[in-house]
Each structure stands twice: as structure tokens, then as C-alpha cells.
Amino acid sequence: MLDELIKYGYTDTHFNVARTKILRCTKEITHTGLNEHRLISAPDSYILSNKIEIQIAKWNEKWNSLQFKNQLLEEKSTNLQFAESSTKEAQEIQKKNR
């Protein structure tokens, strides 16, 4: 599922004027869940791949943390609703018993 959130652009290779030497390689990546975007560059494709893997790992960790926080907030909201409804029921029972 995390891979579905990552979108990749094209890998661009930038050469010197004589086109005899690679100056750098770049790739655009986006995490759609976090709404974050990066243009990663490196002197060669191997280093570029490593940088991309590191960035994706950071984004996945951040996404998992965000998902966990959202789950806790949802559970808290559900528990609060349950507590409020239980309190109302208990108050109604007390009123009937008076």
C-alpha cells in the first residue's frame, strides 16, 4: 500500500556541453499521502537510487506515524461518543428510579 502513495517522474541525465561526461542525474518523486515532493539529484544513477530509497524510507516512517496518530484520534473520538451515550443512559435510568 505504501508503494501506491509514491509517484516517480522521469530520470534525467545532465551531460557536459560535449556530452562526454555525466554531470548529474535527477529524479522527481512525490508522496501523495503526505503531499510532499522532492527533486533528488546525484552524480551518478547508483547514488541517485540510494538517495531515493532513503527519502522513501523517511516518508514511509512519517506516513506510518501520521496514520497511527489518526487511528488514536479516531479511537479516542469513538470512546468519547460511547462514554457520552452511556452517561445519558445512566442519567435516564436514575431519573426513572426517582
pLDDT per residue as tens digits for the range 61-93: 999 999 999 999 999 989 999 899 889 888 888
Domain coverage including residue 71? 2-96
Task: Name the domain count of the chain.
Answer: 1
Mean pLDDT within 5-16:
94
pLDDT of the residue at 2? 67
Mean pLDDT, the chain, integer: 92
- CA-to-CA dists, residue 84 to 2, 4, 87, 91, 98, angstroms: 36, 38, 5, 11, 22
CA angle 63, 67, 70 (to 5 degrees): 140
In a 3-state reduction of DSSP, which class is residue 38?
A: strand
State yes or no: pLDDT of 58 exceeds 90.
Answer: yes
pLDDT of the residue at 27? 97
pTM for the predicted model, two decimal places: 0.76
